[in-house]
Amino acid sequence: MLNDPRSHGLWEKTAPAPPATRRLEETISADVVIVGGGYTGLSAALHLAEAGTNVVLLEAAEIGFGGAGRNVGLINAGMWVMPDDFPKELGPVHGERLLDLLGNGPALVRELIGKHAIACELEKNGTLHCAVGPEGLKELEERARQWQARGAPVTLLDAAETERRVGSGAYAGSLLDMRAGTLQPLAYARGLAHAAVKAGARLHTGSAVIGTIDIDGRKVVRTAAGEVTADWIIVATDAYSTGPWEQVRREQVYLPYFNLATTPLGDNLRRSILPGREGCWDTRDILSSFRMDQAGRLVFGSVGALRGTGTAIHKSWARRSLKRLFPQLGNVEFEAEWYGQIGMTDNALPRFHKFGRNVLGFSGYNGRGIAPGTTFGKLLARHILGEVSEADLPLPLTEVQEAGFRAMKEAYYEAGAQIAHFTGERF
């Protein structure tokens, strides 16, 4: 995207085209202006437009330019945080409400994909959180216990069943979550965009918001070449925020994450590696993830940025890792490589912010934004439509707070991943 083959990699190669959009070059009026063309903004636009609201979405670059077009495509049903820690962190009301909402998030994603016939390689066979060693297994046992106590359809699988499903004997077990699955993330974002346009939303790309003021009680949102006057502003810019809400990005610490996609595997390999196409990640601190795309490419990822010395280090580590995990693969060729920045908040939970009267947004999904972004976008729409009060939202209102030692932590994550991958899998 924007002539950078390492920004959206495989997803850009294989996603259907987005709807035709153009830069905003005039002065227009709407009920709601949405800033950001990722899952949060697109879901809000779709649900508002379906309810008959006059809605305009402004995207700085292209639909799915941020995390939405770069991610792994795991449709998760929770966060990294253990279920029991939600009420501890947010209080019992918000904690359980958020857990419930996140647990139902993948179902909403599937519902929208079905309703709007979005071609995005949806796989419904669940995800496997794979245990590395006895410590990893212990963590998953506890996670399983906490989810099962809430009635969630998660199952702890032993090493043999994990090996049968993954095609690798590297794991001590895994947690199967049947609420979850995988999709082609950019295709999903573009599909939401098509659905929003069809419902009547006006989408403008190449239209970064650079300022906003209040005039006569209405919001005026400015881009370089045009402006929108509206009653409400939804800020859906998350980790890729620029312009007036850049503070949202500064609240988060960037964790770089890269993906490499092999060429399509032959039939025998496809029968042995993830024959059920579950999406996987492991319990390591510097985690790895892997999944299949529809054409049988294995998409393998981990922490790190594919730039400078990182490119060679991470790719060479990935080759060694794949050899250990899946010896049957032999020497692999990578057809695409890309990376992005995951925005992490200090308690690894999302945020609800109000930036002024009728200016609001959710952000900070900590690498878990497909289902939550879709869900929160819908929730923002319902809030504006008067169907959900602020008191009934799943998160308390918080002030934006700049992350402490942000630059230092980001440099540490990027360099730390390089060191770990330079030395890792050699012995």
Ligand X SMILES: Cc1cc2nc3c(=O)[nH]c(=O)nc-3n(C[C@H](O)[C@H](O)[C@H](O)COP(=O)(O)OP(=O)(O)OC[C@H]3O[C@@H](n4cnc5c(N)ncnc54)[C@H](O)[C@@H]3O)c2cc1C
- Contacts to ligand X by CB under 6 A: 35-41, 58-61, 65-68, 70-74, 76, 208-209, 236-243, 257, 340-342, 365, 367-370, 373
Cα–Cα distance, 41 to 58 (Å, whole number): 9
Q: Is 419 exposed, middle or buried (0-12, 13-18, 19+ CB in 10 A)?
A: exposed
Shortest reach from residue 58's CB to ligand X, in Å: 5
| Maximum CA extent, the chain | 68
Q: How many CB atoms lie within 10 A of CB 95?
A: 21
Shortest reach from residue 377's CB to ligand X, in Å: 7
Phi, psi dihedrals of residue 306, rounded to the nearest 5°: -85, 75
β-strand pairing of 127-131 with 173-177: antiparallel
Shortest reach from residue 423's CB to ligand X, in Å: 23
Helical residues (DSSP H) of 267-394, grouped into ranges? 267-272, 309-325, 370-384
DSSP state of 11: H
Nearer to ligand X, 116 or 145 (CB): 116
Shortest reach from residue 330's CB to ligand X, in Å: 27
Are 35 and 230 contacting, i.e. CB atoms less than 8 angstroms apart?
A: no
Shortest reach from residue 35's CB to ligand X, in Å: 5
Shortest reach from residue 327's CB to ligand X, in Å: 26
Nearer to ligand X, 135 or 305 (CB): 305
Shortest reach from residue 128's CB to ligand X, in Å: 13
Nearer to ligand X, 135 or 346 (CB): 346
Nearer to ligand X, 95 or 301 (CB): 301
Cα–Cα distance, 424 to 400 (Å, whole number): 37
Nearer to ligand X, 148 or 242 (CB): 242
HSE, CB side, 13 Å, CA atoms: give it for residue 378: 14
Shortest reach from residue 334's CB to ligand X, in Å: 16
Nearer to ligand X, 246 or 392 (CB): 246
Nearer to ligand X, 25 or 135 (CB): 25
Nearer to ligand X, 184 or 241 (CB): 241
Helical residues (DSSP H) of 266-369, grouped into ranges? 267-272, 309-325
Radius of gyration of the chain (CA): 21
DSSP state of 387: S
Strands, E assignment, 123-246 = 127-131, 154-158, 173-177, 181-182, 202-204, 211-215, 218-222, 227-230, 232-235
